[in-house]
Structure 1
Amino acid sequence: MDEECNMPLCDFEDDNTEKQSETVEPEKKKRDKTSTSDCWRYFTRIKEGKDGKERAKCNSCNKIYITCGRKYGTSHLNRHIMKCVKRKSEDVGQMILDMQGKLKAKKIDQVVHRELLSNLVISHNLPYKFVEYPELRTWINYLCPDAIMISRNTVKADIGRMYMKEKIMLKELIASIPSRICLTSDL
Structure 2
Amino acid sequence: MIAKLAWKNLWFKPLNTVLSLVLLTASVAIISLLILLQEQFEKQFSSNIDGVDLVLGAQGSPLQLILSSVYHVDDPTGNINYKEAEVWMKHPFVETAIPLAFGDNYRGFKIVGTTPDYIKKYAATISQGKVFEKNFEVVIGSEIAKKLNIKIGDKFFGTHGSAEEGHVHEEYAYVVVGIASPTG
**TM-score using structure 1 length:** 0.29
* Structure number with bigger Rg: 1
Q: If each structure's strand is expressed as a fraction of its own residues, which one has the higher value? A: 2
Q: If each structure's helix is expressed as a fraction of its own residues, which one has the higher value? A: 1
